[in-house]
Structure 1
Amino acid sequence: MDQASRTLLELGQAPELYRYPAAELLPLHLAAADAVVAERRQQVPILDRRAREAGVDRISRKSDLVPLLFPHSTYKSYPASFVEKKRWKDLARWLTTLSTDDVTGVDFDGVADEDEWVDRLRENGHFVIATSGTTGKCSFLRHSAEDRARKVDAFARQLGWPFARADGSRSYFWLGPHVGVNSATDAANLGASLWSTPDNAFFLTDERLRLTDISRLAAMRRRMADGQATPGEIAAFERQQQARSAALYPGIDAFIDRLLDRRNEKLSISGTWAQHLLVRDRARERGIPDGAFHAETIVSAGGGIKNVALPDDYQEQVAQFYGDVVRTGTYGMTEMFQLMNRCEKLRYHIPPGLLPLVLDQSGETLLNTEDVSGQVVEGRFAFVDFAITGRWSGTITSDRVQFDTAEQCLCGRPGPTILDTITRYQTGDDTIGCAGTIDGYIRGALAS
């Protein structure tokens, strides 16, 4: 790792890691970006080709990075046939095109599905993590062993900021499964190890969250939405979902009852909005009033709203149920290690080792340049995470953000910050200009 990147990560070790003005960090960000791009070009030929064709030789300003960023969809750009026909060696070849190390030497004999493919890679020193595949196709991202250690370190420093420290003193309740290779289960297990002890960490189910099941579920929902599924297929799908829910429901009751029985203790509770509403409904069945939780309980809620019917005021209902507890907030994603924590004024702060970039909707023009200080710019969020070495970390997301370039946040800490108004670009609007180019590079690499 280059010295500038190392310095930025060391700045994030301070007890108050969000205390550095953007002007102070910018020279380090540019030096680190220049060094990282130079190194990754030697390791990831697709990045090198992109840099040559874009005419980018050095990173001297933030806009130089824009043509080099990979769209989030790049990490699921493999041909679907690689999974459907169990071409695991070819899938490894695809992953190698996006990684700083060759993973094709792994023996995939006996691998039956995506989950076992990731398991086999992990057994051989490649910590691959997957997204949930809610679009019907999973993303796969490789971490090096050093990356893994840095992610654990980042979580340890940032979880709970600025309201509490994850010191192992609470009972931890994750409203979901903890076995699996996707990013949600990874975050759940990291949270459990930091907030609690093994004896006081509880999960909704020990059943493995399988990528194959999630992908099939998403694919069927997409076919139903497009009108392509037959009535027979829909009926069979609904029966299968009802059977799975019926098998799991007694476990849900027991899990929620355990959580409610400990409501007078300091807890850490994390889950989706729909899951928190299930806790509320069970509490009402038991006659437990709103606001019955320990004041130092930490509640984290987010996500889980796709394809789920929720009331318009679901966030307000969850807040009313838990009452006056601690509500931490983080903004992050599978593609990054370092979290952006929400302060007392509901603004997300950026750690020193993360370079934030706000682009126009097409992902081609930088909006948060140095000459817009003091303005709030709205656009597509992108970043470079200097903690990641297992791949090129420059990424364009599907998120629309409002980015406040002011020198100081309303909480008094140095800016910039991201407002708590983050949304996703809809499918029709989520077209990133360079996506076809990068995908073309990958197809060419696989064909060679």
Structure 2
Amino acid sequence: MPTAQQSIEQKTKLLLTNPAKLVNYSQLAWHQLPRAEVQAMQLCGLQQRFADLRERIPVLKKLADAEGIEHIEQLDDAVPLLFEHTVYKSYPPSLLEKRSFAQINKWLAKLVTPEIGEAVMAADVSACQGLDDWFETMDKAVPALRISHTSGTSGTLSFLPHGVREFEKTFEIRRLFAWNMDGPDTPPPELHTAYPYYRKGYLSHVRANEFMIKVLLPDEAHFHAAYPSTLSTDMLHLGAKIRAAYAKGTLDRLDISPELLARKKQFDELQMEAPQHLATFFEQMASQLKGKQVYIGATWNLLHNMAKAGLECGLENVFHADSYISTTGGAKGVVQPEGWREDVLRFTGAKALHETYAMSEVIGGSHARCEHGHFHLAPTVIAYLLDPDTSKPLPREGRVTGRAAFFDLGADVRWGGFITGDEITIEWDKPCACGRPSQYVVGPIQRYSEKNGGDDKITCAATEDSHREAMDFLNTFEG
């Protein structure tokens, strides 16, 4: 158990490797970590991560060499090394069209540590007929890695290489709250999960189900999915490409096989039937899990649709009051209907709705919303505010608005620095009225693309030449 006498170095080691143990498995202690201690651990953790990964992740080494960065003295020293989100989708799109998965693996290997990269390069992907085959093959070939992808609204998917231990640490923190833990001997509840989507898939939030079951639930039988099948990445990617081509007026240039079109038609029919299917699913869950303690994590609109469907059937206070209902992401430009939170609580019967600000690329920590509406920064993630035009760091004092960037201290097989498309405001100094000592996000979270009429050109904080050299290196496939 950590003690007050432990050094910052000892505590930092726990923050990086076993953050739940750092707070002796207490959800209250997690929220009450002293601000000065967190700041000291974060700097120490960043320094350790950079020292360990600088020479070992090829694209990071290329960027750090070009920028002349050998070590980290203060948090802002890492800003030129934060990756734009486009890094994770910088591979030539033609590689997917040609099913050149061996080339995709060469690209991916430059984003991870050598032991993971070697296993990625050694994977036999020659028989993969599409993305679903590739993901399944890579899971078996590199058991310490889980590659996930984003929704690909631009028509191009981002591939995110996360270590298995990253996911485990994330859910070990979530377990503190879902189980209401006050120490290592807290008895586990007979928790169930009702999940309003697919049991399995490679889309980032579906990817996490494997670890939710492993860490939060007694066994697989306690996980109830609306669709017990696998969500097809091939279909998601095709849909994204069609939408992007339609928006550009180039739909007639898309070459899609009849087999894929037939699968797409089936997939679309399933999506059209989703509202009725989900209504039936939650009616079944309300009956099957009535009075039981459940964990439900979903986007706010899925939660609200669930609640509306239940309330229209006369269902209220369905689950145990200690159930944990969680939603991530915020509205981000969408006007949320009045009273949606109250609807969710009335239907589920849970005492509270737990909202967080998080993103697929930074799985090491969610920023929890307090009763005053502020998102408190997680100790496992270093937050930055950058100038929206230059990506240079803004002051870490006062109340400041800028582009959000984060360093995920939980990342150990990849580099955790990431620049987002979000505009946020952070209160660096003034304590929150809720009593938590952490710094926090205030006011709305908005995408720069929404502010700028659909356009958001993220600028890397590195010099233009350094960034271009790193991107050229990442996308060179000789050898």
Tell me the TM-score range normalised by the shorter chain. 0.7 to 0.9
**CA spacing shift, 1:368–1:169, aligned 2, 3 Å:** farther
**Which residue of structure 2 lines up, in the alignment, with residue 269 of structure 1?**
296
Number of aligned positions between the proteins: 436
- Does the Cα contact within 8 Å between 1:174 and 1:269 map onto a contact in 2? yes
**CA spacing shift, 1:39–1:404, aligned 2, 3 Å:** same
Counterpart check, 1:109 vs 2:109: no
**CA spacing shift, 1:251–1:42, aligned 2, 3 Å:** same
- Does the Cα contact within 8 Å between 1:127 and 1:142 map onto a contact in 2? yes
* Correspondence list, 1:265-344, <5 A: 265-286=292-313, 288=314, 294-302=320-328, 312-314=335-337, 316-323=339-346, 325=350, 326-336=352-362, 337-344=364-371
* Correspondence list, 1:314-393, <5 A: 314=337, 316-323=339-346, 325=350, 326-336=352-362, 337-362=364-389, 364-369=391-396, 372=397, 375-393=398-416
Identify the range of structure 1 (185-194 vs 77-86) with the bigger mean alpha-carbon deviation.
Answer: 185-194
State the one-letter code of the partner of 2:470: Y
**Which residue of structure 2 lines up, in the alignment, with residue 47 of structure 1?**
60
Distance (Å, rounded) in 2 between the aligned partners of 1:306 and 1:26: 28
Distance (Å, rounded) in 1 between the aligned partners of 2:43 and 2:324: 37
Distance (Å, rounded) in 1 between the aligned partners of 2:458 and 2:179: 33
Deviation at 1:177, TM superposition (A): 0.5
Distance (Å, rounded) in 1 between the aligned partners of 2:193 and 2:417: 33
Name the % identity. 24
- Listed as ranges, the gaps of 5+ residues in structure 1 are none
SS at match of 2:284: helix
TM-score computed with the length of structure 2 as normaliser: 0.79
Deviation at 1:141, TM superposition (A): 2.4
* Correspondence list, 1:10-21, <5 A: 13-14=22-23, 15=26, 16-21=29-34
- Does the Cα contact within 8 Å between 1:404 and 1:418 map onto a contact in 2? yes
Deviations 1:193-246 (Å, cap 9, x if unpaired)?
44443333211101211211111112222233334446x99xx89966652235
Counterpart check, 1:174 vs 2:186: no
Deviation at 1:306, TM superposition (A): 9.6
Counterpart check, 1:93 vs 2:79: no
Distance (Å, rounded) in 1 between the aligned partners of 2:325 and 2:449: 28
Counterpart check, 1:204 vs 2:226: yes
State the one-letter code of the partner of 2:33: Y
**Which residue of structure 1 lines up, in the alignment, with residue 456 of structure 2?**
430
Deviation at 1:50, TM superposition (A): 1.7
**Which residue of structure 2 lines up, in the alignment, with residue 134 of structure 1?**
152
Let me know the Cα RMSD of the aligned residues.
Answer: 3.5
SS at match of 2:224: strand
Deviation at 1:42, TM superposition (A): 0.7
**CA spacing shift, 1:253–1:60, aligned 2, 3 Å:** same
- Listed as ranges, the gaps of 5+ residues in structure 2 are 1-8, 256-260
Distance (Å, rounded) in 2 between the aligned partners of 1:60 and 1:269: 42
State the one-letter code of the partner of 2:282: I
SS at match of 2:229: coil
TM-score computed with the length of structure 1 as normaliser: 0.84
Distance (Å, rounded) in 2 between the aligned partners of 1:359 and 1:380: 5
* Correspondence list, 1:232-251, <5 A: 243-245=269-271, 251=277
Distance (Å, rounded) in 1 between the aligned partners of 2:407 and 2:329: 23
